[in-house]
């Protein structure tokens, strides 16, 4: 069960945004990721709880940030309920999308589990509902993902297979690279892996 810490920063000016302390693990029904977020001051700012089925579909998502809460799952596309800080007003949403995304590295791993790409360089289009900080506002985004290369790197615990993806935002054409090993993000815009207590899990 990988356990560690990511640092999250603004990808443009590198302003520190948060630290995300996480643990994750594959199981008989899929994969689960749980994390707690803290501000640079050390104050808690939110949490992520994401569970995928064996096909990579989100069977449960629970996000907390800024007093807001989102619960969602794959149902007729993706469906969610967003609750305001007072708990008195809840709004439901549904979009014909494949999955969810957001600032947490969990969503990058989840997208790769859903797409199951091979190192061909050919791109696959995916529609996602993005929950943006700090109020978890939903926004539908279209991306294309391509697995450019898969390389094995020698480590003290044996070879570590690293996948390099190219992700393109289809509304702007902006591209960026994402490096993932198993169920851990090694590098991505705005994300740095600061600490990892055990090796990434490998998927069958």
CA dihedral 4, 43, 60, 70 (to 10 degrees): -150
18 pairs with which residues across the strands?
8
Assess contact for 41 and 24: CB atoms under 8 A. no
pLDDT at site 202? 83
Distance between CA atoms of residues 161 and 179, nearest Å:
10
pLDDT, tens digit, 9 for 90 and up, residues 166-179: 999 999 999 999 99
Cα 187 from Cα 184, distance rounded (Å): 9
Put simply, whether the predicted model's pTM sits higher than 0.75 gets the answer yes
Residues 68 and 76: their CA atoms lie apart, in Å, by: 24
- What pLDDT is attached to residue 60? 96
Sites in the chain below the pLDDT cut of 50: none
What pLDDT, on a 0 to 100 scale, did the predictor assign at position 157? 74
Tell the burial category of 147 from Cβ atoms under 10 Å away from its Cβ (0-12, 13-18, 19+): buried
Q: Strand, helix or coil at 31?
A: strand
pLDDT of residue 204: 67
């Amino acid at each position: 069960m990988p356990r560690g810490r990511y640092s999250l920063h603004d990808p443009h000016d590198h302003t520190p945004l948060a630290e995300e302390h996480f643990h994750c693990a594959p199981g008989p029904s899929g994969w689960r990721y749980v994390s707690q977020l803290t501000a640079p001051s050390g104050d808690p700012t939110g949490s992520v709880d994401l569970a995928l089925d064996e096909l990579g579909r989100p069977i449960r998502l629970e996000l907390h940030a800024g007093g807001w809460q989102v619960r969602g799952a794959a149902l007729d596309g993706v469906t969610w309920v967003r609750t305001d800080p007072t708990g008195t007003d809840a709004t439901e949403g549904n979009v014909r999308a494949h999955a969810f995304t957001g600032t947490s590295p969990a969503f990058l791993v989840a997208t790769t589990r859903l797409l199951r790409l091979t190192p061909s360089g050919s791109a696959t289009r995916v529609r996602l509902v993005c929950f943006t900080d700090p109020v978890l506002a939903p926004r539908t985004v279209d991306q294309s993902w391509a697995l450019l290369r898969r390389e094995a790197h020698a480590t003290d615990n044996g070879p570590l297979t690293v996948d390099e993806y190219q992700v393109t935002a289809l509304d702007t054409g902006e591209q960026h690279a994402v490096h993932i090993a198993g169920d851990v993000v090694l590098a991505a815009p705005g994300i740095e892996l600061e600490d990892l207590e055990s090796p990434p899990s490998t998927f069958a």
